Structure 1
């Protein structure tokens, strides 16, 4: 029994250390910029030797992978909560407000730097692609949940709706990262107006006129 308890303690201790390293890495990414941050920077931020850091993460890409896994778990819980809410749209609005307005602007800047790194680093590109797919699937699920609650028209294409919402939100995230005078509440109101119109069937994919009918 004592041995089992010790092993469990080791497991939880290691999980805690990995969590603290991930948080330290985020601070280092903000401080130095993602591309310029080295494992030595992360080790210094985590108050440990580089050799000890490599025991937990063999590379910066491995740290980013762990960071993405943490965020994916949080995102999954949020999507599940939104889907079960009395109003999916109201829950999405609060979630967007929390992520767009209440999180530090530096967090947005760090995310943009990681996306930029994806153009140079195939490993980071694969992680970003997985995030995009996860968000897309989660939003499609919310569209279906909204249909079930009568908040979205029955014939709304979930794939189209998810892609449109991603386009809007990514634009807001980029502007929040770069614009010092960004008016979050005003832009959030604009985004939610688009989403409500979308859910009511007011936005559809564009279909080009039939060339045969052209004069």
Structure 2
């Protein structure tokens, strides 16, 4: 008789496989990482893996959904601050070095995959839409308080700001040696100046 896993054990193993896949995807890319590589990283056989995920594509989709929900959840936890720049930059300010941004680079792999995979594209769009709604609300509240330029369209502006923050982890790849603290401060200054109403110091 096959041993049945309780739900907690099942989910725990799925999480271990997703973490192993995440490491493989960072090293080899979504296209380059094979099922055998993921199995080796997770310390399981292919047959064992397929007990939890029917395919590599299912792993990618689940990882994308959970990763983006976790990453963008930071914005949700900061929404009560009321300051649009603080909410937007909360993920960056929770980090201490470029090494802390390494896990964010999986987003670049997901973006590339979204160009080929409609289901991954839908996952990206769904998660981004959730963050855009949150940030739009924060921007509108800031406009009502006179803290955000009223000429800015909240929906469009939130999309542009998300793109800026999501691209930040690329900096050390494009400019080796660029300092993290200074880069973070410059991004913060750029966002605050962009949102500030005209004529406000």
Work out which of the two has the higher radius of gyration on C-alpha atoms and give 1 or 2: 1
Q: How many residues align?
A: 196
Q: Gaps (5+ residues) in structure 2?
A: none
- The 5-angstrom pairing of residues 1-215 of structure 1 reads 10-75=6-71, 77-85=73-81, 87-98=83-94, 101=97, 103-147=99-143, 151-153=147-149, 156-202=152-198
**Aligned residues: CA RMSD:** 3.0
Change (3 A) 1:60 1:182: farther
**Distance change >3 Å, CA 141–CA 63, structure 1 → 2:** farther
Distance 2:96 2:113 in 1: 22
Provide the C-alpha distance between the structure 1 equivalents of 2:122 and 2:88, rounded to a whole number of angstroms.
27
TM-score for the superposition, normalised by structure 2 = 0.79
Distance 2:51 2:144 in 1: 48
Q: Which runs of 4+ in 1 moved over 6 A?
A: none
The answer to whether the 8 Å contact 1:82/1:142 transfers is no
For residues 93-137 of structure 1, what are the alpha-carbon distances to aligned partners after superposition, in whole Å with 9 as ceiling and x for unaligned?
Answer: 342233694554543443223322333333333333334333333
Given the two structures, how large is their TM-score scaled by the length of structure 1? 0.75
In 2: Cα distance, 1:95 partner to 1:186 partner? 16
Displacement after TM superposition at 1:191 (Å): 1.9
- Report the Cα offset of residue 141 of structure 1: 3.1
* Residues 91 and 142 of structure 1, relative CA distance in 2, 3 Å threshold: same
Unaligned runs of 5+ in 1: 1-6, 203-215
Q: Tell me the alpha carbon deviations over residues 63-120 of structure 1, each in whole angstroms, 9 at most, x when there is no partner.
A: 1222222224324532222111264533543422336945545434432233223333
- In the alignment, the residues of structure 2 paired with residue 54 and residue 100 of structure 1 have an alpha-carbon distance, to the nearest angstrom, of 38
Identify if the C-alpha distance between structure 1 residues 34 and 106 changes in structure 2 by more than 3 Å, giving closer, same or farther. farther
